[in-house]
Amino acid sequence: MDKMRLLTPGPTPMPEEVRLTLAMDMVHHRKPGFTALLGEIQKDLRWLFGTSQPVVAMSSSGTGAMTAAATNLFAKGDQVIVIEGGKFGERWGEIASTYGLDAAIVSVPWGKAITVDHLRAALEKFPKAKGILVQASETSTGVLHPIKELAAFTRERDVLLVVDGISAVGISPCPMDEWGVDCLLTGSQKGLMLPPGLSFLALSERAWKRVEEVKPREFYFNLLGEREKIVKNSQTLFTPPINLLMGLHTCLAMFKEQGLENVYRRQWALTQLVRSAARAMGLELFAEEHFTWGLTSIRLPEGVDGSAVLQCCAERYGVVLAGGQGAMKGRIVRFGHMGHVDYGDVLAGLHALASALEACGGYTAARDYMEQGMRAYEAAMAGGYPE
């Protein structure tokens, strides 16, 4: 086996430039050289998030940023509407309940997206709700919720839209200020092409006002303290993962060199490649309409063992894919193509998936799936991506 290809929805492969940066000598996090670097990172993070407000970097996984959002934006007893359409929607509910929030659950079928009509009905049912907690991309299902439309609805109302963008930021557009998103958060190990261990959170002006009213309930996830450090000193409140931030600086420089338009165009094209090829294999897609960029969830044929397919892909072809979660365990394959992945990696993954399905008794389609996939990829690269 020449190469192991990591095609999961996080962690994702790292560029060579990032790996080299991570191997650099350690520096002190309070010295001028590193604080200057943090100043550059802050400027670039605001550009990436599409916001004029500070972007807080925290030493945690994305779940830490979700926790920080819940505990800084809402007081104990506040009601929040939780959009539950997968495992990570469920996580919003678990976090809210753990910290004493009144979590009003609005469920949508797995594989489907929330709509503005759903949200309007939810606010009529729960008029005291102070926030909406939702995923941009529900990583467990491959659904992309319509954040732009939801934000247009919520920004005219006294309710905060809190968006988990862990598998969306750096993958698909979500410009905070332009759309009117109140809180956008992400983690380091997906679109940002870093190891796990960093999370990022940005707030709108009205969200910061809410934080000032609520006041921090956590010693560590203290967003007011983090903002003060960023604005006054270009520092973090506590000791950060220094090497990850150095790697982040390299990643953001790569994004700026490419331009976000080109980053999004490539992610959209890879998504079209996988979806077209999967259909050509005779497979069904789990998310038909509102689908994530950078991740494709594919239904497995009846009688095919999902764990056996994943094992065959890894052991025979060196391709690591992800399986389903919860009720979808063993029933879908989650094919990741986010971050530092190109069409060569994706074509290798498609070959592995087709061959594994054949070995496991579930593949009967024609052999032109790669040709159809590449046609879709080339058309998407030429035609751009939807706004």
Among 213, 237, 257, the domain-final residue is 257
Task: Give residue 207's domain range.
Answer: 16-257
pLDDT at 290 (0 to 100): 95
Pair (71, 116) in one structural domain: yes
In a domain, 5, yes or no: no
pLDDT tens, position by position, 304-328: 999 999 999 999 999 999 999 998 9
Give me the percent of the chain exceeding a pLDDT of 90: 94
pLDDT tens, position by position, 127-141: 999 999 999 999 999
3-state secondary structure of 287: coil
pLDDT band of residue 65 (cuts 50, 70, 90) is very high
CATH number at residue 134: 3.40.640.10
Task: Specify the higher pLDDT residue, 334 or 1.
Answer: 334
113, 289 Cβ separation under 8 angstroms: yes
pLDDT tens, position by position, 169-201: 999 999 999 999 999 999 999 999 999 999 999
277, 149 Cβ separation under 8 angstroms: no
In a domain, 84, yes or no: yes
Average pLDDT over residues 242-254: 98
Backbone angles phi, psi at 5, to 5 degrees: -105, 120
**Distance set, CA 214 to CA 30, 102, 170, 207, 210 (Å):** 29, 16, 30, 11, 6
- Written in H, E and C, the secondary structure of 40-90 is HHHHHHHHHHCCCCCEEEECCCHHHHHHHHHHHHCCCCCEEEEEECCHHHH
- pLDDT over threshold 60, residue 1: no
Nearest to 372 by CA among 282, 301, 238: 282
Q: Which amino acid is at 240?
A: P
Task: Specify the higher pLDDT residue, 365 or 257.
Answer: 257
Pair (325, 244) in one structural domain: no
Q: Which amino acid is at 289?
A: E
pLDDT at 20 (0 to 100): 98
Task: Specify the higher pLDDT residue, 216 or 108.
Answer: 108
pLDDT tens, position by position, 139-165: 999 999 999 999 999 999 999 999 999
Average pLDDT over residues 276-296: 95
pLDDT at 161 (0 to 100): 98
Among 238, 257, 276, the domain-final residue is 257
pLDDT tens, position by position, 37-56: 999 999 999 999 999 999 99
Pair (124, 149) in one structural domain: yes
Task: Specify the higher pLDDT residue, 102 or 365.
Answer: 102
Among 240, 257, 274, the domain-final residue is 257
Pair (128, 36) in one structural domain: yes
- pLDDT over threshold 70, residue 366: no
Pair (178, 305) in one structural domain: no
Pair (243, 112) in one structural domain: yes
pLDDT averaged over every residue in the chain: 96
- 35 vs 213: CA distance, rounded Å: 29
- 197 vs 12: CA distance, rounded Å: 13
- pLDDT over threshold 70, residue 2: no
Pair (217, 330) in one structural domain: no
Q: List all residues 6 or more positions away from 348 whose beta carbon is below 8 Å from its beta carbon.
A: 5, 317, 319
pLDDT tens, position by position, 10-25: 999 999 999 999 999 9
| Sheet architecture: strand order including 322-323 | 295-299, 332-336, 322-323
Number of folded domains in the chain?
2
Pair (228, 264) in one structural domain: no
DSSP bridge partners of 81: 104, 132
- 334 vs 297: CA distance, rounded Å: 4
In a domain, 146, yes or no: yes
Q: List all residues 6 or more positions away from 130 whose beta carbon is below 8 Å from its beta carbon.
A: 74, 78, 79, 80, 158, 159, 160, 210
CATH number at residue 355: 3.90.1150.10
